[in-house]
């Protein structure tokens, strides 16, 4: 069985803690590798190396740092299939979905090629008599990122690419459930010309996370995961004087107005609700049709589409709509919440509890589920299921539908499907959620905008990627300079006045 490593100072380093996590093939349920779980001492070793390497990298001009990013983009395109295959094998998502994971991370790297422009400061000539004033953005030093299992390529690149483009060194603590792709990305960054020690991968669990939170050299921390862990990391990191951005859970609502194109809305819900087995923080998990007639038409459209979904291993290629969930524990949690929905009175219209895939009986596959007549007091409405489960909550009016999304404690993403421009404009302006789609089910902004939710979906003042990333990973220094004049009356230059 393969034993994975950490990546420190440009070398694959075996774990020394004696602790390991199992890495599964979600399609078969078999353990395919062991992932080392770092001790605080191992994390400290990586930080020491990063701190020693960072000053020289921070002194490299932004244009040369951007060239490393340019070469990294080329290598990502070269190895796209290799990365996607490794990602699918550990995560379980389909091969096209895995390639999309890599691609969305690559797009942020492309944005970071603009570092010379993005890091420019401001200048004021003659702010006072003989006084100029200017600002500059300087790297923080050593930054760290704690990333989730569901996007093992994209989210690490959302963090380390801007951090490194800004001149920082970066410690990546990826999910121990699918750690191979982050290790491959670190290798590619060094192949692209990044000096050793600037990007390091330390695998681990809570011990490594706490070591990151408490290490005095680490200046900033990024996190994506569940809301309870986001709150913990944000509180402990901030109390230690670090700059922290944390992104937590989601319960994304899609409102379907009576005038919506119902075929378009149903197709959008199937893709947004069941793609990647629902293991996306931007997945639509709550459909809110306005009016019973709208709800009946929507359910009629959804049922045959959901029943036609093909579930299988990534090796089946394009013939599969989604794959297994990541672990047996994830499957158990999803099915437990489905049962709670039944017990609490929701109508299970499509029941995937008995789904079995011949030849893959031990895999972590979950069939698609559709609930109707869900109410806000139910567990399946309150909790993030993170699985292929869509809940339909009927609203009597637009205002009731709007209130459902606004009153939920999560505020990551939302969408409205309508032909009415006035309704769409009102929704976009009033909704208290960070990312809004109008006839777009998964409104993930492109790399040159920023990604981030509101309420208990995000903690911190700045979002991920886009301009906010270059603010998060730098400090602004403002200089006020006065140079005494060396020019005498009559135009003769007085060199002594400049001594």
Q: Active-site positions?
A: 281
Q: From the CA atom positions of the chain, what is the Rg in Å? A: 25
| CA dist 316 → 157, 196, 306, 321 (Å) | 28, 39, 19, 10
Joined tokens for residue 489? 């009356």
Could you tell me how far CA 80 lies from the centroid of its own chain? 19
Q: Which of 271, 232, 259 is nearest to 456 (CA)?
A: 232
Contact of 45 with 36, CB cutoff 8 Å: no
- The secondary structure of 329-390 as a DSSP string is HHHHHHHHHHHHHHHTT-EEEE--TT---TT-TTS-----EEEES--TTSHHHHS---SSEE
The span from the CA of 364 to the CA of 17, in Å, is 29
Query: CA–CA separation, 159 vs 476, rounded Å?
Result: 19
Q: How many CB atoms lie within 10 A of CB 253?
A: 27
Strands (E), 140-274: 142-146, 169-173, 199-201, 218-224, 243-247, 252-256
Q: Which of 334, 344, 330, 412 is nearest to 379 (CA)?
A: 344
């Amino acid at each position: 069985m393969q034993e994975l490593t950490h990546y420190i100072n440009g070398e694959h380093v075996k774990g020394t803690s004696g602790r390991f996590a199992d890495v599964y093939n979600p399609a078969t349920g078999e353990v395919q590798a062991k992932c080392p779980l770092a001790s605080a001492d191992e994390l400290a070793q990586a930080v020491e190396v990063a701190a020693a390497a960072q000053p020289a990298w921070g002194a490299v001009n932004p244009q040369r740092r951007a060239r490393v990013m340019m070469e990294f983009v080329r290598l990502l395109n070269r190895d796209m299939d290799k990365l996607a295959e490794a990602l699918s094998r550990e995560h379980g998502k389909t091969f096209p979905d895995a390639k999309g994971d890599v691609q969305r991370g690559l797009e942020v790297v492309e944005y970071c090629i603009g570092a010379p422009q993005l890091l420019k400061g401001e200048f004021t000539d003659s702010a006072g008599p003989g006084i100029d004033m200017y600002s500059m953005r300087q790297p923080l030093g050593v930054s760290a990122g704690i990333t989730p299992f569901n996007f093992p390529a994209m989210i690490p690149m959302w963090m380390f690419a801007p951090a490194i483009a800004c001149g920082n060194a970066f410690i990546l603590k990826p999910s121990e459930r699918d750690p191979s792709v982050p290790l491959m990305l670190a290798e590619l960054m060094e192949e692209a010309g990044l000096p050793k020690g600037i990007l390091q991968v330390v695998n681990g669990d809570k011990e490594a996370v706490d070591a990151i939170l408490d290490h005095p050299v680490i200046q900033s921390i990024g996190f994506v995961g569940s809301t309870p862990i986001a709150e913990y990391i944000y509180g402990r990191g901030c109390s230690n004087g670090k700059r922290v951005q944390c992104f937590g859970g989601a319960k994304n609502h899609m409102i379907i107005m009576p005038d919506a194109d119902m075929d378009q809305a149903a197709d959008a819900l199937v893709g947004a609700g069941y793609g990647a087995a629902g293991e996306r923080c931007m997945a639509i998990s709550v459909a809110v049709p306005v009016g019973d007639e709208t709800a009946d038409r929507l359910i009629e459209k959804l049922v045959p589409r959901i029943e036609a979904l093909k579930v299988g291993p990534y090796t089946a290629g394009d013939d599969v709509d989604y794959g297994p969930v990541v672990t047996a524990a994830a499957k158990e949690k999803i099915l437990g919440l489905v049962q709670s929905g039944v017990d609490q009175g929701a109508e299970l219209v499509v029941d995937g509890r008995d789904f079995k895939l011949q030849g893959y009986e031990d895999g972590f596959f979950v069939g698609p589920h559709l609930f109707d007549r869900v109410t806000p007091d139910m567990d399946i409405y309150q909790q993030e299921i993170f699985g292929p489960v869509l809940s339909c909550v009927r609203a009597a009016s637009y205002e009731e539908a709007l209130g459902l999304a606004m009153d939920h404690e999560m505020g990551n993403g939302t969408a409205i499907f309508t032909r009415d421009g006035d309704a769409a404009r009102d929704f976009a302006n009033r909704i208290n959620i960070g990312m809004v789609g109008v006839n777009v089910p998964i409104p993930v902004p492109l790399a040159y905008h920023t990604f981030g939710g509101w309420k208990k979906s995000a903690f911190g003042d700045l979002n991920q990627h886009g301009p906010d990333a270059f603010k998060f990973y730098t400090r602004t220094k403002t200089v006020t300079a006065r140079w005494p004049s060396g020019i005498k009356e009559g135009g003769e230059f007085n060199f002594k006045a400049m001594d």
